[in-house]
Structures are given as C-alpha cells and as structure tokens.
C-alpha cells in the first residue's frame, strides 16, 4: 500500500502494485466463502483440500469498481459479471448515493456475489448496491464487498445496515473529512 500511496510512484509501478493488491483482495474474498473439505488424489496419496463454491459472480460499482474486475476475471474467467452505476450526489451536504443503472447476471439470487469498489467512504454507494442485490433475492450472507481503502464511518454503516455482508479491505484510514472524503487522501490520484 505504501507504493500505491507514494506520490512519486511512477505509473508503470503503480499499475503493477495495484494489480497485485487487487488479486490479493479477490483471493482473500474467496476465502470468505464457505468451503467444503474434499479428498484430492495425488501421485503419492490423498490430500485433504478445500473446495469453494463455483456459483460466483462479480458486480462492479462503475466506474472505479472496474479496476478490480481484471483481477477477478483473471482468476475466474468464466464467472459472470454485473455492473451498477451508483454515484454520490456531490451537491448534497450528506453526499448520499444515487442509483442510475444496473445490469446483473441471470440467476444472481443463486450466486455468491463479489461487489467491487476500491473506496469505501460514507458507505452510501455500497449500501445502495447491497439493497439492489437483496431486491434480486441475493442472501445477505452471499455478498462479499472487495475494496482497497475504507473509512471507519463507511464500515460502521455497512455493518449497521447489513451485518451479514463480509467486507475485505486492504486499509482502514483515519476518518472522513467535512467533504466526506477519506483522510488521509492518496490512493489513485495519478496524473
């Protein structure tokens, strides 16, 4: 995370580290799913392994969430992808989220859903996305939210409204400022 936050990090290095962080997030997110023990035949005997559900999909909160999709599709190239457009209303003092669009996979109610959005500030966008998934009959405990940086206020809101959703994040920063931005700032502001 230090490389991603360093203002002197060059674009090529930033992209390499960001992709690695995104891959780790997806891998950690999968570990949040219920696994079942299986026997795997090896050349030398039987290995006790874990099998995770295959009925998974990713839903990106456009546009920033798309940055996490590459890591997801690299690991799960056959998994369906959904998109939602939810943006916070910058003209509002509370910066509440507004829903604009969704395109979700068929049978999403039978899937484990990874919601991708790199920043969790107020929690408005993610809570709106979770609400949308619940309207599609996705069980709350089938939702894993993947993000890179969180504010405590956003995490508190997600767990207050949706206590069974799992959140996988790389960093929890100090707080939100008066403009509802995460403090300290410094991930993704590339020239």
According to the model, what pLDDT value does residue 188 have?
Answer: 52
Query: pLDDT band at residue 90, thresholds of 50, 70 and 90?
Result: confident
* pLDDT tens track for 17-49: 889 999 999 999 999 999 999 999 999 999 999
pLDDT of 172 strictly over 80 = no
Q: Which residue ranges form the domains of the chain, and what is each CATH number?
A: 2-183 (3.40.50.2020)
Distance CA 103, CA 106 (A): 9
| Residues β-bridged to residue 97 | 88
Share of the chain above pLDDT 90, in %: 63
According to the model, what pLDDT value does residue 191 have?
Answer: 47
pLDDT of 86 strictly over 60 = yes
- The two tokens of residue 68 are 């996490």
Q: What average pLDDT does range 155-176 have in this prediction?
A: 91
pLDDT of 174 strictly over 80 = no
Rounded to the nearest integer, the mean pLDDT of the chain is 89
Query: pLDDT band at residue 187, thresholds of 50, 70 and 90?
Result: low
* Distance spanning both ends of the chain, measured CA to CA: 18
Location of structure tokens 């991603």: 4
- The two tokens of residue 80 are 């369906």
**Residue ranges of the alpha helices (H) in 31-182?**
66-75, 124-135, 152-161
| Residues β-bridged to residue 99 | 86
Q: Which residue has the higher pLDDT, 113 or 8?
A: 113
E-strand ranges in the chain read 36-42, 45-51, 56-62, 81-88, 97-103, 112-116, 119-120, 143-150, 166-172, 175-176, 182-183
Asked whether 104 and 82 are in contact (CB, 8 A), the reply is yes
Query: pLDDT band at residue 104, thresholds of 50, 70 and 90?
Result: very high
pLDDT of 55 strictly over 90 = yes
Q: Which residue has the higher pLDDT, 149 or 101?
A: 101
Asked whether 69 and 58 are in contact (CB, 8 A), the reply is yes
pLDDT of 115 strictly over 90 = yes
């Amino acid at each position: 995370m230090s490389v991603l936050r360093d203002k002197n990090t060059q674009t090529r290095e930033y992209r390499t580290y960001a992709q690695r962080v995104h891959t780790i997030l997806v891998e950690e997110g999968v570990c949040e799913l219920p696994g079942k023990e299986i026997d795997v035949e090896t050349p030398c005997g039987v290995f006790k392994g874990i099998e995770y559900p295959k009925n998974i999909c990713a839903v990106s909160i456009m546009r920033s969430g798309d940055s996490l999709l590459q890591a997801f599709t690299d690991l799960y190239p056959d998994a369906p992808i959904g998109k939602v457009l939810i943006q916070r209303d910058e003209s509002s003092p509370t910066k509440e989220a507004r829903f604009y669009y969704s395109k979700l996979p068929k049978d999403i109610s039978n899937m484990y859903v990874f919601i991708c959005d790199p920043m969790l500030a107020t929690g408005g966008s993610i809570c709106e996305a979770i609400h949308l998934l619940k309207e599609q009959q996705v069980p709350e405990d089938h939702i894993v939210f993947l993000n890179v940086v969180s504010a405590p206020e956003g995490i508190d809101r997600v767990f207050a409204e949706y206590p069974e959703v799992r959140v996988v994040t790389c960093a929890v920063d100090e707080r939100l400022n008066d403009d509802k931005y995460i403090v300290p700032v410094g991930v993704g502001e590339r020239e």
